[in-house]
Amino acid sequence: MDKKQEFKSGYVALFGKPNVGKSTLLNYFLKEKLSIVSEKPQTTRDAMAGIFTDDNHQIIFVDTPGVHCPKSKLGEYMLKSAIAAQKDADELIVIVDAFDGITAQDKQVFELVKERYAEKIKYSWAALLINKIDMVSKEKLFPLLDLCRKELNVNEYIPVSAKTGENLDFVFDKIKQMLPIGPQYYPCDQLSDKNERYIVAELIREEALNLYQQEIPHSIAVEINEFKERANRKIFIQATIFLERPSQKMILIGRNGRMLKKTGSLARQQIEKFLGKEVYLELWVKVYPKWRKDEEFLKRLGYKKKY
């Protein structure tokens, strides 16, 4: 009789500069739309765990905010959240952009990883993924691989594409293989460490990010005011979208409220897919000047000092 395989578990941090594909990778590994995705930099604001569990493994993927130079209290929180997740991880996935090459922001990421190595705390496995290889030629890719090897010493350097899935199944199998033996941290059916209200707020913010231009995205915050199931089993959700300036409010609402209705319609569709139930979504828009610098308001939104 074969000996029963020992259970393996661990935290796997997805770490890199903004807009490098961390959230897309998380969604691919989980085969679920959990983390919001946008072409706008700094879309992810808080470290969020996505949980994969099978009979012998539990992988807690941690999607982290992009490493950047913060310009507000929110930015400071985002950076601390990313660094803490990276330092506490059992395995590390560093991601760079094949199209951009190695930038100053990537070197900042590498230095943060080297700080943990300097403390002589080893990951059970660490890899550097060169993402978006579907956007570059092999002639550009090979020199970039050599440069990555010189910049950061990890176990493997793997070209991937989050868009096409190239090499991601290999990465996933390697993550499972190299997990340390450990307990099951979460129930089998739990997908994230965040609750439904948090993810719904993020889905609303995602649609707003994708609909509006550069003036608005970083100023958007979403707060869920009501979330309850009614007698007809339809979920009633009331949410407030906060912006920093009256001019942004006018743009977001649009002429005769058309843009806000579009945001609500698209967000409702995503929320219904996530919850598996019909949803009635009511959106309000308010101006809160300089909310990104207001510590009390950030706490109210859930960005609490944990680090």
Residue 7's closest CA among 139, 173, 185? 185
pLDDT bin (cut points 50, 70, 90) of residue 215 is: low
pLDDT tens digit sequence for 221-268: 999 999 998 877 799 999 999 999 999 999 899 999 999 999 999 999
Average pLDDT, the chain: 90
119-168 confidence digits (pLDDT tens):
877 899 999 999 999 998 888 899 999 999 999 999 999 999 998 999 99
Do β-strands 48-53 and 57-63 pair in parallel, antiparallel, or remain unpaired? Answer: antiparallel
161-190 per-position pLDDT tens digit: 998 999 999 999 999 999 999 999 999 999
* CATH class of domain segment(s) 8-178: alpha beta
pLDDT of residue 1: 36
* pLDDT tens, position by position, 83-119: 888 989 999 999 999 999 999 999 999 999 998 887 8
| Fold observed for domain 196-300 | GMP Synthetase; Chain A, domain 3 (3.30.300)
Whether residue 305 has pLDDT greater than 70? no
Query: What percent of the chain is predicted at pLDDT more than 70?
Result: 96
pLDDT digits (tens, 9 = 90+) for 57-83: 999 999 998 888 888 888 888 888 988
| pLDDT attached to residue 37 | 80
CB–CB of 8/187 below 8 Å? no
The alpha carbon of residue 41 and the mean position of all alpha carbons in its chain are separated, in whole angstroms, by 11
Residue 219 φ then ψ, to 5°: -95, 0
Q: What is the per-residue pLDDT for 133?
A: 94
| Rounded Cα–Cα distance for residues 60 and 50 (Å) | 6
pTM attached to this predicted model: 0.89
What pLDDT sits at residue 170?
Answer: 96
pLDDT at 216 over 80: no
Q: What is the mean pLDDT of residues 263-284?
A: 95
Domain range annotation of the chain? 8-178, 196-300
> 101-120 burial string, b = 16+ CB within 10 Å, else e?
ebeebbeebbebbeebeeee
Q: Give pLDDT, residue 33.
A: 85
